[in-house]
Copies of this chain bind each other. A is one copy, B any other.
Amino acid sequence: MKIEPLLKYINKYVSLTHEETDFLVSKVIYRKYLKGQYLVQQGDVCKFSCFVISGCTKTFYMDEEGQEHIMMFSIEDWWTSDMSSYINQTPADFNIQFLENTELIMFPYDVIEDVYQHIPKLERFFRQIIEKAFIASQKRIVRNLSMTAKDRYVYFRDQYPQIEQRIPQYMVASYLGITKEFLSKIKSQLLTED
């Protein structure tokens, strides 16, 4: 069970004792998934909140016309889950699919309260990472409101170069809220104008 990256990550926020670490390790699940598999499909109840050890996921909403709208990608050291479904144990709005073979540390819903009770520091930890996620989400909304598609692409490319290299371009387009054809046009514009 490769759990070191998670412990290292948690340690950036709070310090766990050996006992606390052992308790946590006993409650979480290490698992590998293959490229193409799903962690959650919309309509399911999401039973896990997951930390990515290695690999890559996309979280997306599929609308009535069958169009995919990508909410986020997760790679090493990021978290993934349908938060709404996980917290409220209601049907998920989103799908989470693996874009590569992926290793996860999974926090089952039915142990998370137990973990908070035994290790209040982790309640603090999760408060802090959710604050960060919320801040990032708010900033994304502003970018979508105030920037053109071209500027949003340039921002994405500069901010997440490791992600852009790992995923097909049509998924970047979906994440940016534009069509693949239009992203193609933007990229050729950027090439000629500089």
Q: Could you tell me which A residues sit within 8 Å of B by CB distance?
A: 61, 63, 67, 69, 71, 83-84, 87, 93-94, 116, 120, 123-124, 126-127, 130-135, 137-142, 144-146, 177
Contact A142 B61 (CB under 8 A): yes
How far, in whole Å, are A81 and B131 apart by their CA atoms in the complex? Answer: 12
**Residue in B87, B120, B144, B146 whose CB lies within 8 Å of A141:** B144
Contact B142 A141 (CB under 8 A): no
Residues of B with C-beta under 8 A to A71 = 138, 141-142, 145
A54 nearest CB across to chain B (Å): 24
Contact B87 A135 (CB under 8 A): yes
Residues of B with C-beta under 8 A to A131 = 83, 87, 130
15 A-B pairs besides A87-B131, A87-B132, A116-B124 with CB distance below 8 A are: A61-B146, A67-B146, A71-B138, A83-B134, A84-B139, A93-B139, A93-B142, A120-B123, A123-B123, A134-B137, A137-B137, A141-B141, A144-B144, A144-B145, A144-B177
